[in-house]
Amino acid sequence: MILLVHGDREYLLAPGDELQTDLGVLDVPEDASPGQRLETHLGEEFVVREPRGPDLFNHFERTGAPMMPRDVGLIVGHTGASATDRVLDAGTGTGVLAAYLGRIGASVLTFEREPSFAAVARENMELAGVSDRVEVRTDDLTERLDSLSGFDLVTLDTEDAPAVVERAPDVLVPGGFVAVYSPFVEGSRAAVEAAREGGLSGIETYETIQRRMDFGDRGSRPATAGVGHTGYLTFARHE
Ligand SMILES: C[S@@+](CC[C@H](N)C(=O)[O-])C[C@H]1O[C@@H](n2cnc3c(N)ncnc32)[C@H](O)[C@@H]1O
């Protein structure tokens, strides 16, 4: 897949597709490459771009509320997620976190209990070019924990995450991390209590706040528009 970019307009297309907009019609060449400039029949110019994580966040079909790139970044930074990692993830939802981890090169097994969501997530993994590394399994993770072990990282974005956190030592390799995203602080507290119950170490919770800066003619300051808070991230470690 490629992106065609014109100003702040973007279209995700496959080579060979036809783009039809008010800017004209454009046939995407089979060999379209990043940086190439293509013109519609009305002479409007588009630049070809290869989609990366934030582009996929914008263009994936959405089901479960996708994780924001800033939260993905904190998970990767805090846990050191890398290309040699085996990651267990739930729930897949839209698959933003799973796709980012796949693009890093990690092998991801992600559980989604809602079959229609899992089907969309598989298509999103195709779009992201990571379906060889990210397996979307249609199932409830809490019911499959007995058969899972040897993961470097467990990432959870579900209401029932505490039930998995408590069992994390059975699923993680020594030194492995569990990371829990919670939209509400009550969810974080439950995750922390489960981590304590499960005997995990290094238990920490952070609120994610990000402020964009505006550089105007009169001066520079944090943007006054927009919500900086996204959620809470709890991390813990097995041994
Ligand atoms: C908020 S979304 C996850 C979004 C995802 N992290 C992303 O970046 O796109 C939560 C998803 O978890 C699924 N889910 C909740 N509990 C689950 C469980 N125990 N096992 C598997 N999937 C679960 C829900 O169906 C929902 O699609």
Residue 169 CB coordination number (10 Å) = 18
The string of pLDDT tens digits covering residues 196-239 is 999 999 999 999 999 899 999 999 999 988 778 899 999 999 99
Q: What predicted TM-score, i.e. pTM, was given to this entire model?
A: 0.95
Cβ–ligand 1 distance for 112 under 6 Å, the answer: yes
Amino acid at 12: L
Find the helix or strand (DSSP H, E) in which 19 lies: strand 18-21
Looking at the chain, the whole-number percentage of residues with pLDDT higher than 90 is 95
Q: What is the mean pLDDT of residues 184-204?
A: 98
Handedness of CA 38, 40, 45, 51 (dihedral sign): negative
Position 167 confidence tier, pLDDT thresholds 50, 70, 90? very high
Q: What is the dihedral of CA 61, 65, 70, 73, to 10 degrees?
A: -80
Q: What is the pLDDT of residue 130?
A: 97
Nearest CA to ligand 1 atom 18: 140
Domain ranges of the chain: 2-50, 55-237
Cβ–ligand 1 distance for 90 under 6 Å, the answer: yes
Query: What is the atom index within ligand 1 of the atom nearest the CA of 72?
Result: 8
Query: What is the atom index within ligand 1 of the atom nearest the CA of 89?
Result: 6
The pick from 158, 181, 230, 232 for probing ligand 1's pocket by mutation, whose C-beta has the most ligand atoms within 8 angstroms, reads 158
2-50 adopts what CATH topology?
A: Vcp-like ATPase; Chain A, domain 2 (3.10.330)
State the distance from the centre of ligand 1 to the C-alpha of 145, rounded, in angstroms: 16
Q: What is the residue whose two structure tokens read 């097994």?
A: 109
Please check whether the two domains, 2-50 and 55-237, share a CATH topology.
no
Position 166 confidence tier, pLDDT thresholds 50, 70, 90? very high
Identify the three-state secondary structure at position 184. Answer: coil
Among 3.40.50.10490, 3.10.20.340, 3.40.50.150, 3.40.50.720, what is the CATH number of 55-237?
Answer: 3.40.50.150
The string of pLDDT tens digits covering residues 71-101 is 999 999 999 999 999 999 999 999 999 999 9
Cβ–ligand 1 distance for 164 under 6 Å, the answer: no
